[in-house]
């Protein structure tokens, strides 16, 4: 998953805890391999080989569910949450030292657009050659939800799954105390912006403070608009609480992509959230029942049909 991952669970014996954790970890590893952008044998690679030529392919049920969810996010984000925008990594790689030219961005943007892909479960048809899919915006959070579900189905009632700061709560501590999730300050590496207590649900964080490039002294986020090909520059960071990690994660990404409109959108869909903008102004909304009643605009995790720290 390209990040620090952790499972914390309470069990009657160490042997039980180890066995359950191994099953959960194995599923995370499975999903990492299945949807990796860096493996030739992944589902993503197989799809993108077809996309490169502009052909047609069919996908398995799990992949279809993720594509259905991505399709919903695309619609509800006004086209900003776009799993075809991975092609823009060519202009904004980690070794980027200069701003890409308008010509480069224009060329890459011709290969971006989920609306250029014909999706009719389980069939994908690429109408424009060269389009690439990138499941990075949903798979890590989906994996956290699945790992937590595996633990719960094995009888674990207390614990959490933390995949690079995308956290799914299995249940509170055995004494009923919630997990305290610290949200990193986007501009102070050793500071916590806020602490949120959670006994259930999930929390995810996105921001411009961990993966970014600096060009001529200016910071450019790794979150790139599929409309302009340029990194977003509205929010420094945003955290969202939801019932499922995949919903929290996609909502943080959408809010970042909406830039200044992000906080208003989160309020409209009724998800608890905390944000900081580029001027280090902080705001948010906490809805008591947000983890139990998601706004209808975002689907629940397909498996059920930033960094945060925990204690």
Q: For residue 133, is it within any domain?
A: no
Number of domains composing the chain: 1
User: Model confidence over 88-117: pLDDT tens digits?
Assistant: 988 887 677 788 899 999 999 999 999 999
Give the model's pLDDT for residue 90.
Answer: 86
Give pLDDT tens digits for 144-199: 999 999 999 999 999 999 999 999 999 999 999 999 999 988 888 788 888 999 99
Tell me: the pLDDT tens digits for 50-67?
Answer: 999 999 999 999 999 999
User: What percent of the chain is modeled with pLDDT above 90?
Assistant: 74
pLDDT in tens, 216-269: 677 778 889 999 999 998 899 999 999 999 999 999 999 999 999 999 999 999
Tell me which residue range forms the domain holding 252: 158-310
Per-residue pLDDT band for 302 (boundaries 50, 70, 90) equals low
Q: What is the pLDDT of residue 89?
A: 84
Separation of alpha carbons 70 and 74, rounded Å: 6
Rg (CA), the chain: 19
Q: Which residue has the higher pLDDT, 300 or 35?
A: 35
Mean pLDDT of 68-85: 96
Q: Determine what percent of the chain is predicted with pLDDT higher than 70.
A: 90
What is the SS3 assignment for 192-234? Answer: EEEEEEECCCEEEEEECCCCEEEECCEEEECCECCCCCCECCC
pLDDT of residue 221: 81
Residue 10 lies in a domain: no
Residue 310's pLDDT band (cuts 50, 70, 90): low
Instruction: Please give the pLDDT value at position 207.
Output: 86
Q: What is the pLDDT of residue 86?
A: 84
Give the CA distances from residue 238 to residues 65, 116, 205, in Å, rounded to whole numbers and listed in that order: 26, 30, 6
Burial state string for 247-271 with b = 16 or more CB within 10 A and e = fewer than 16: bbbbbbbbbbbbbeebbebbeebbb
pLDDT of 203 higher than 80: yes
How many Cβ atoms sit within 10 Å of the Cβ of residue 154?
A: 16
Question: Does 252 reside within a domain?
Answer: yes
Check residues 194 and 2 and name the one with the higher pLDDT.
194
pLDDT at 288: 44
Is residue 139 domain-resident?
no
Question: What is the reported pLDDT for 309?
Answer: 54
Predicted confidence at residue 68, as pLDDT, reads: 97
Q: What is the pLDDT of residue 303?
A: 46
CATH number at residue 269: 3.10.520.10
pLDDT of residue 293: 34
Residue 184 forms part of a structural domain:
yes
CB neighbour list of residue 60: distance below 8 Å, 6 or more residues apart: 43, 122
């Amino acid at each position: 998953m390209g990040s620090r991952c952790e499972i914390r669970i309470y069990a009657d014996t160490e042997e039980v805890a180890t066995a359950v954790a191994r099953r959960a970890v194995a599923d995370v590893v499975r999903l990492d391999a299945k949807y990796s952008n860096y493996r030739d044998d992944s589902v993503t690679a197989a799809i993108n080989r077809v996309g490169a030529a502009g052909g047609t392919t069919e996908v398995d049920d799990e992949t279809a569910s993720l594509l259905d969810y991505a399709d919903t996010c695309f619609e509800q984000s006004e086209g900003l949450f776009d799993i075809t925008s991975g092609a823009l990594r060519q202009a904004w790689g980690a070794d980027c030292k200069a701003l890409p030219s308008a010509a480069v961005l224009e060329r890459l943007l011709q290969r971006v657009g989920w609306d250029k892909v014909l999706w009719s479960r389980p069939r994908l048809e690429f109408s424009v050659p060269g389009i690439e899919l990138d499941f990075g915006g949903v798979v890590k959070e989906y994996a956290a939800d699945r790992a937590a579900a595996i633990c719960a189905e094995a009888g674990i009632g207390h614990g959490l799954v933390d995949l690079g700061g995308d956290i799914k709560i299995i249940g509170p501590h055995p004494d009923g105390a919630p997990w305290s999730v610290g949200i990193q300050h986007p501009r102070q590496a050793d500071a916590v912006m806020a602490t949120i207590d959670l006994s259930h649900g999930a929390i995810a964080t996105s921001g411009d403070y961990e993966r970014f490039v600096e060009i001529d002294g200016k910071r450019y986020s790794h979150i790139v608009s599929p409309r302009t090909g340029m990194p977003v520059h509205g929010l420094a960071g945003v955290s969202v609480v939801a019932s499922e990690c995949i919903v929290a994660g996609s909502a943080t990404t959408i809010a970042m992509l909406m830039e200044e409109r992000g906080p208003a959108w989160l309020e409209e869909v009724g998800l608890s959230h905390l944000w900081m903008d580029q001027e280090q102004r902080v705001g948010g909304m906490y809805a008591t029942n947000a983890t139990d009643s998601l706004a209808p605009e975002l689907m629940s995790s397909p498996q059920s049909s930033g960094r945060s720290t925990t204690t």
